[in-house]
Amino acid sequence: MGFLQKDKQKEDDSTDYIAATNTDVNSPLRQIAATKKKRYGAAVDGEFLFKEKDYADLIARECSIVTPNGELKWNATEPQPGKFTFESADAIANFCQKNNIALHGHTLFWHMGNPDWLPYPPTLEMIQRHVTGVMGHYRNSPVLKSWDIANEIIADNENETDDPTYGLRRGVKPELIRDLFKFAASVDPTKKFYLNDYGIEGATWRSSRFLKMVEYLKNSGAKIDGAGIQSHLWFSTAYGFDATGFSSVLKRLNDLGVKPVITELDIIIDTPLPDSIQKLDQMVADGYKRFLDICFAADVDTVITWGITDRHTWIRHPDWMPKKTYRDNPSVWQFLRPLPFDENLQPKLARNAIAQAFMQAP
């Protein structure tokens, strides 16, 4: 699985590989994934992880990798200039260590999740202090294996950038991102480095700019190991994916030697809504299967969903739910069922679809 150095890999995944010999669709997803030398994981929320035992048990059973929902964002780790706090992120790291789960570091640079004192983009000096503090803290972590070095640097659309080539958010220069990646490599080159973004699951304005930025980083000699493809998929609106375009994005990344990784997958069904939850769950499941089949055909080996249960999905928050369908019509909020397990932590059709996709992967 390319991600971990050879002998390390054995030690990290030995439990899964032993158990993986005899799996069926109801086996833990981490074991089913391991039969194909792949990983399944989810974003976790520390607030609930240490309050809800059933939720923690489910994460431990199903996941071989987790991403902290917010605990490694700038506002959590450096709330005051130069004052670092790792209490909540370390609690997740300890949970991972106890349960033999890898931790994905999300994220060192973003335009959101920042303390009020921080400008966007931050100065290179602020970035260096932050990267030194945060990456330095996890340099010797036995579980943290990868970092989203930068998140969502591409503008939301072409009207919001002054940079036709790379389409970066206003004020962000490609050189700043290059310097961030280079500085990160000087702090801890032992981890995998990703550039992470959304809306690149097809031949879109964003995906073409994202690929240009990946090429630029490679050509400037920066260390970039992976491309995080968030995959918050809104079916039947602008966020849906086109299979052909997405396959060519994956191929281009593989050709560049930058591993595509699915980092934040969830599936939201937008208008028109079906007339029953059962039909909706089937649509979500079909979405997972179609999407993952394309990923696995391109040799993707890590799939992380943004949460594991509809009980704790970011998309049920009014700030994030799709506007027309849900915010304007709150009576349909129960159709927000983007994840593999329901509110009661019961497996949904989507969970079955993910298991099938792993089992059928080449």
Residues that bind ligand XIL (CB under 6 A): 69-70, 151, 230, 264, 314
Give which of 347, 353, 346, 323 is closest to 336, Cα–Cα. 323
CB-based closest residue to ligand XIL: 314
Question: Nearer to ligand XIL by C-beta: 138 or 358?
Answer: 138
Give which of 107, 255, 265, 269 is closest to 201, Cα–Cα. 265
State the nearest-atom distance from the C-beta of 70 to ligand XIL, in Å: 6
Classify residue 323 as exposed, middle or buried by CB count within 10 Å of its CB (0-12, 13-18, 19+): exposed
- Residue 261 CA to residue 263 CA, distance in Å, equals 6
* Neighbouring C-alpha atoms within 13 Å toward the C-beta of 312: 22
State the nearest-atom distance from the C-beta of 198 to ligand XIL, in Å: 6
State the nearest-atom distance from the C-beta of 230 to ligand XIL, in Å: 6
Element of type H or E holding 302: strand 302-305
Question: Nearer to ligand XIL by C-beta: 35 or 230?
Answer: 230
- Residue 284 CA to residue 351 CA, distance in Å, equals 10
Give which of 226, 235, 217, 161 is closest to 197, Cα–Cα. 226
State the nearest-atom distance from the C-beta of 313 to ligand XIL, in Å: 8
* Neighbouring C-alpha atoms within 13 Å toward the C-beta of 283: 23
245 Cβ neighbours under 8 A, 6+ residues apart: 202, 203, 204, 207
State the nearest-atom distance from the C-beta of 183 to ligand XIL, in Å: 21
Question: Nearer to ligand XIL by C-beta: 195 or 217?
Answer: 195
Question: Nearer to ligand XIL by C-beta: 267 or 349?
Answer: 267
Question: Nearer to ligand XIL by C-beta: 13 or 148?
Answer: 148
Question: Nearer to ligand XIL by C-beta: 106 or 259?
Answer: 106
Question: Nearer to ligand XIL by C-beta: 114 or 352?
Answer: 114
State the nearest-atom distance from the C-beta of 278 to ligand XIL, in Å: 27
State the nearest-atom distance from the C-beta of 20 to ligand XIL, in Å: 30
Radius of gyration of the chain (CA): 19
